[in-house]
Structure 1
Amino acid sequence: MNSKKTLVIAIAAVSGGGKTTITTQLNKKLYNSKALFFDDYEFEGPDDICDWLKRGADYNEWKLTPLINDLCSLLSNPVLSLDCILLDYPFAYKHNKMREYIDFTIFIDTPLDIAMARRILRDFKGVSSDNILKDLDIYLSCGRLAYLEALNSIKANSDFIIDGSLSVDVIVNQIYERINGISKEIH
């Protein structure tokens, strides 16, 4: 990759869809890249996700200043001169302040049953089945709306959609090839 312009790639998916795994593996494969992970930050945002969804899911209600500051710091660092910054970031182009920094968005289209199974395996190790049942009840009453919002809004606002049921290696290789193609186009 040529270092004339740092390419900012946002990788989105539903919770349990593979954002973090794919971003981590892709960052290892790319030369001269850095990754920022949405879950590493504490953001001010809607207190009640269900209410936020019912009100129309305005992504600009999320105050993403810490992530934006870190992204700007990486972009403006002449010593790093990165080829690519990967964002494990669930909003694609939907947040007005982040949109101006993102060059390309990828949506990992993971079937909801697979995403839910991954999330339960990831988040509920060593907890009682009552906790799992409570979470599933929340999913059915409201959480599923968030998943559907991602499918209806974020997927529709992404530049590249990849099948999330493919193996991690296949997904990473396909995205890697796409990034190399984009890099050649802009340089």
Structure 2
Amino acid sequence: MRNIMKIISIAAVSGGGKTTIVNALKKKLGDINTLYFDDYTFESEVENFNNWVLEGADYNVWNLEPLIKDIEKIIIEDKCDLLILDYPFAYLNDKIKGYIDFSIFIDTPLDIALARRILRDFKNSSASEIRKELQIYLNFARIAFTQMQKDVLPSSDLVIDGSKSIEEIVDEIILNFYSI
């Protein structure tokens, strides 16, 4: 049986602001727990995101056991009232959805998310490397991003405009979460 700890998941496309918002929430709220999807290596049947989307985008092919173990450990330790997950799937993975009390999707326009990714991940890259990444985005990655908007966004409890400032997004999350 779950204790009184609440678990919020924050989803967005890559570059959509998940980690930035989770970190800002942690700074503003203080004594909370956080887990970040990108800190894990997951086994999955997904080798090619393009094919995964074309084959139906089954979010249950992801084996999220390492994340589940950490969620359960935090629940058992019960050292605070809130756990925030930087986690891209909202309620779409059957093994994780039962842990989530409130799911938020940051709906960041794809051009903004792409620009953020390039600025974040390609700071010291050549123009050729950036062009190559843009070609990969156009040919393969964009389809996965649009699939998230199709699947994850409508399955979330709250959708926030990702073009807002960090402060506006954090305030909106706090206002909506604490009013339920």
In structure 1, the residue matched to 2:14 is 15
Taking structure 2 as the reference length, the TM-score comes to 0.95
Counterparts of 2:27 and 2:174, CA distance in 1? 11
Taking structure 1 as the reference length, the TM-score comes to 0.92
In structure 1, the residue matched to 2:69 is 69
Counterparts of 1:27 and 1:73, CA distance in 2? 19
Q: Deviation of residue 32 (structure 1)?
A: 2.9
Letter in 1 for 2:113: A
Q: Percent identity?
A: 50
Counterparts of 1:155 and 1:128, CA distance in 2? 34
In structure 2, the residue matched to 1:55 is 55
Secondary structure at 1:97's aligned position in 2? helix
Q: Contact 1:30/1:176 (CA < 8 Å) preserved in 2?
A: no
User: After superposition, what is the alpha-carbon deviation per residue over 1:135-176, rounded to whole angstroms, capped at 9, x for unaligned?
Assistant: 111111121101101110000100000111110011101101
1:42 aligned onto 2:41: yes
Q: Deviation of residue 128 (structure 1)?
A: 1.2
In structure 2, the residue matched to 1:148 is 146
Letter in 1 for 2:47: D
- CA RMSD in angstroms comes to 1.0
Q: Structure 1: 5+ residue runs without aligned partners?
A: 183-187
In structure 1, the residue matched to 2:156 is 158
Letter in 2 for 1:18: G
Q: Contact 1:104/1:159 (CA < 8 Å) preserved in 2?
A: yes
Letter in 2 for 1:51: N
* Number of positions where the alignment pairs a residue of Structure 1 with one of Structure 2: 177
Q: Contact 1:31/1:83 (CA < 8 Å) preserved in 2?
A: no
In structure 1, the residue matched to 2:28 is 29
Counterparts of 2:58 and 2:179, CA distance in 1? 32
Q: Deviation of residue 31 (structure 1)?
A: 4.2
1:84 aligned onto 2:94: no
Counterparts of 2:49 and 2:144, CA distance in 1? 8
Between stretches 128-137 and 153-162, larger displacement belongs to 128-137
